[in-house]
């Protein structure tokens, strides 16, 4: 790791990549440049060694990424996944060391995709509400990316029954029936504010009622985890209350560089060859002619004004950036978040060089699927399966830290943490990103541990 840190100090990045790391616009970086907050080199690039005062850059340069890749399971950990889709999360978790006992999915084509690639997996095809999870015993881990849906509220009480009729109810039912040691919920960033925050409050209440402690949730940005895409996902990690004393969970540390579309489509850091040919959508002739005028990394604003008006129509007068329209990707930047189709007008994903939508295989590479992972169904279905997936490398990074947590639980190594204790009931209050930071204190996990029985060292 030391060698990679030294090489990091010698690296330079573009203004665009700096904006991606800092989650700001290039215009903001431009203003920083004017007021002296950042100073580019003569070639216009930025030296990472000059940017270490930014927490994001410092985290990348001081990351224990290589050490985290060495984490191995000390036993065979069983897992079940709901809403498995085309397998992005499942591939990453298996690569980290989990052993899938069952995967539930309702989409016929997605199930065929899973069976095609992993015939040994137990795929439960159909409506999750029809599955009896009580037959699964001694399961270590449960995961699922349940859809973000509003709940029907019965007065002010927020409980398990209030979620009936939603897919989160089925996720919660699976937790209740399986009683895993740890479970992972994955969702869109919008869950934070969905239904004015009521949805999240209900989920937190249900988790507590099921006998689990919610670790401080976090929105993870895929670009920090060897994914060449600006995708953000919310993760909720929960531990069964009787095992919370063994909680050593820490979020994955970032990779030491940001990967780009070039890394996805060309031979290099991610793949051993250029992207193989595959099928994909095509543009109508007029749209193709218009998009041929857009430079790499550009969008509709780079078109001549008369073409802007033709292409944008009423949207031309509505204001706002709309930078996803007529958008051509750039080899030098991560891709924008992939949607369920690459040629939708509002979320265009045009190839960096050729004037066409990204192909199915290019879509899959940006989501870091392996090249030998095939997809079943129509072209539209394949795009949808890929667009809805958790990036494989992001799932793998999360999986490694979840394996570390389960190793600690298996070793029965207690971790002393300081939680907020209510004076009257003396009950543990769940740590949450959505509560004031002043309401709890958390000691560094690794500073104090007590071995309650002889245990083998964690790997």
* pLDDT computed for residue 195 by the predictor: 81
- Which residues face 187 on adjacent strands? 234
Domains of the chain listed by start with CATH number: 2-53 (no CATH), 67-257+392-451 (3.40.50.150), 261-387 (3.90.120.10)
Higher pLDDT, 451 or 264: 264
Q: Is 439 exposed, middle or buried (0-12, 13-18, 19+ CB in 10 A)?
A: exposed
Q: Once rounded to an integer, what is the mean pLDDT over residues 402-414? A: 96
Q: Once rounded to an integer, what is the mean pLDDT over residues 380-390? A: 97
Backbone conformation region of residue 439, classed left if phi is above 0, alpha if psi is from -120 to 50, else beta: alpha
Asked whether the predicted pLDDT for residue 454 surpasses 50, the reply is: no
Q: Is 412 exposed, middle or buried (0-12, 13-18, 19+ CB in 10 A)?
A: middle
Give the end-to-end CA distance of the chain in Å, rounded to a whole number. Answer: 17
Q: What is the DSSP letter of 36?
A: T
Instruction: Count other Cβ atoms within 10 Å, centred on residue 377.
Output: 17
Structural contact between residues 275 and 351, judged by C-beta atoms closer than 8 angstroms:
no
Match 């996944």 to its residue by tokens. 81
Asked whether the predicted pLDDT for residue 409 surpasses 50, the reply is: yes
- Which residues face 232 on adjacent strands? 221
Asked whether the predicted pLDDT for residue 65 surpasses 80, the reply is: yes
- Tokens standing for residue 409: 């639980």
> Which stretches does DSSP call E strand in 87-158?
98-105, 123-125, 141-144
* pLDDT computed for residue 440 by the predictor: 31
Asked whether the predicted pLDDT for residue 422 surpasses 90, the reply is: no
Asked whether the predicted pLDDT for residue 234 surpasses 60, the reply is: yes
Rounded Cα distance between 273 and 270, Å, is 9
Angle, helices 198-209/167-178, rounded to nearest 10 degrees: 20
* pLDDT computed for residue 344 by the predictor: 85
Instruction: Give kind and range of the element (H or E) at residue 228.
Output: none
* pLDDT computed for residue 212 by the predictor: 97
Question: Out of 79-93, 122-136, 146-160, 373-387, which region has the weakest mean confidence (pLDDT)?
Answer: 146-160
Question: Under DSSP, is residue 449 helix (H, G, I), strand (E, B) or coil?
Answer: strand
Instruction: Count other Cβ atoms within 10 Å, centred on residue 420.
Output: 14
* pLDDT computed for residue 284 by the predictor: 94
Match 């050490």 to its residue by tokens. 67
Higher pLDDT, 449 or 404: 404
One of 111, 148, 238, 350 is an active-site residue; which one?
Answer: 148
Q: DSSP letters along 356-420, please?
A: SBPPHHHHHHHTT--TT----S-HHHHHHHHHTSPPHHHHHHHHHHHHHHHHHHHHTEEE-----
Asked whether the predicted pLDDT for residue 49 surpasses 90, the reply is: no
Q: Once rounded to an integer, what is the mean pLDDT over residues 213-236? A: 95
| 340 in catalytic set | no
What digits encode the pLDDT tens for the residues 310-361?
A: 998 888 887 666 778 899 999 999 999 999 999 888 888 999 999 999 999 9
Backbone angles phi, psi at 143, to 5 degrees: -140, 160
* pLDDT computed for residue 151 by the predictor: 57
* pLDDT computed for residue 162 by the predictor: 58
Backbone angles phi, psi at 187, to 5 degrees: -155, 175
- Tokens standing for residue 134: 């009580």
- Which residues face 239 on adjacent strands? 182, 213
* pLDDT computed for residue 319 by the predictor: 66
Instruction: Give kind and range of the element (H or E) at residue 46.
Output: strand 46-47
Q: DSSP letters along 297-354, please?
A: T--GGGS-HHHHHHHHGGGGGS-S--TTTT-B--TTSPEEPP-S-TT-GGG--B-SSS
Asked whether the predicted pLDDT for residue 307 surpasses 60, the reply is: yes
Asked whether the predicted pLDDT for residue 453 surpasses 50, the reply is: no
Rounded Cα distance between 91 and 367, Å, is 12
Q: Once rounded to an integer, what is the mean pLDDT over residues 242-271? A: 96
Structural contact between residues 21 and 12, judged by C-beta atoms closer than 8 angstroms:
no
Asked whether the predicted pLDDT for residue 155 surpasses 90, the reply is: no
Residue 202 binned pLDDT confidence (cut-offs 50, 70, 90): confident
Question: Under DSSP, is residue 454 helix (H, G, I), strand (E, B) or coil?
Answer: coil
Residue 200 binned pLDDT confidence (cut-offs 50, 70, 90): confident
Residue 5 binned pLDDT confidence (cut-offs 50, 70, 90): very low
* pLDDT computed for residue 152 by the predictor: 54
Q: Once rounded to an integer, what is the mean pLDDT over residues 48-60? A: 92
Buried b (16+ CB within 10 A) or exposed e, 25-37: eeeebeebbeeee
Question: Out of 8-22, 121-135, 241-255, 372-386, which region has the weakest mean confidence (pLDDT)?
Answer: 8-22
- Tokens standing for residue 200: 């999240």
* pLDDT computed for residue 147 by the predictor: 78
Q: Once rounded to an integer, what is the mean pLDDT over residues 302-306? A: 94
What digits encode the pLDDT tens for the residues 426-441?
A: 323 222 223 333 333 3
Q: What is the β-pairing status of strands 229-230 and 218-221?
A: unpaired
What digits encode the pLDDT tens for the residues 167-192?
A: 888 999 999 999 999 999 999 888 88
């Amino acid at each position: 790791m030391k060698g990679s840190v030294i090489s990091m100090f010698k690296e330079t990045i573009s203004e665009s990549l700096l904006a991606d790391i800092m989650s700001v616009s290039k215009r903001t970086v431009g203003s920083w440049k004017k007021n002296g907050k950042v100073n580019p080199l003569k070639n216009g690039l930025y030296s990472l060694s000059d940017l270490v005062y930014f927490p994001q850059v410092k985290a990348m340069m001081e990351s224990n990424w290589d050490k985290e890749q060495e984490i191995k399971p000390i036993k065979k950990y069983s897992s079940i996944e709901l809403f498995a889709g085309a397998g992005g999360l499942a591939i990453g978790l298996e690569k980290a060391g989990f052993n899938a006992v069952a995967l539930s999915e309702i989409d016929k084509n997605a199930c065929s995709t899973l069976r095609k690639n992993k015939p040994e997996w137990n795929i439960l095809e159909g409506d999750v509400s029809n599955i009896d999870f009580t037959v699964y015993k001694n399961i270590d881990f449960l995961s699922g990316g349940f859809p973000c849906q509003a709940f029907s509220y019965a007065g002010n009480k927020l409980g398990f029954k209030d979620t009936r009729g939603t897919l989160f109810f089925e996720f919660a039912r699976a937790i209740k029936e399986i009683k895993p040691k740890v479970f992972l919920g994955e969702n869109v960033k919008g869950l934070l504010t969905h239904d004015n925050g009521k949805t999240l409050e209900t989920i937190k209440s249900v988790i507590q009622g099921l006998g689990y402690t919610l670790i401080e949730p976090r929105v993870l940005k895929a670009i920090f985890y060897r994914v060449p895409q600006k995708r953000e996902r919310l993760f909720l990690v929960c531990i069964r209350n009787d095992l919370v004393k063994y909680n050593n969970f820490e979020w994955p540390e970032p990779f030491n560089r940001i990967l780009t579309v070039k890394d996805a489509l060309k031979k290099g850091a991610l793949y051993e060859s250029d992207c193989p040919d595959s099928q994909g959508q095509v543009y109508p002739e007029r749209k193709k002619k218009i998009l041929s005028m857009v430079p790499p990394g550009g969008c509709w604003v780079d078109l001549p004004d008369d073409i802007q008006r033709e292409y944008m129509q009423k949207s031309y007068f509505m204001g706002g950036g709309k930078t996803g329209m007529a958008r051509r990707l750039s080899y030098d930047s991560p891709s924008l978040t992939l949607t369920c189709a690459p040629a939708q007008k509002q979320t265009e994903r045009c190839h960096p060089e050729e004037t066409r939508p990204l192909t199915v295989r290019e879509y899959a590479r940006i989501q870091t699927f392996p090249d030998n992972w095939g997809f079943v169904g129509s072209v539209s279905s394949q795009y949808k399966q890929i667009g809805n997936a958790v990036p494989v490398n992001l799932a793998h990074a999360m999986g490694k830290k979840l394996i570390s947590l389960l190793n600690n639980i298996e070793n029965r190594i207690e971790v002393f943490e300081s939680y907020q204790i209510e004076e009257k009931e003396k009950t543990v209050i769940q740590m949450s990103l959505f509560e004031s930071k002043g309401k709890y204190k958390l000691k560094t996990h690794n500073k104090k541990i007590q071995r309650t029985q002889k245990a083998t060292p964690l790997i």
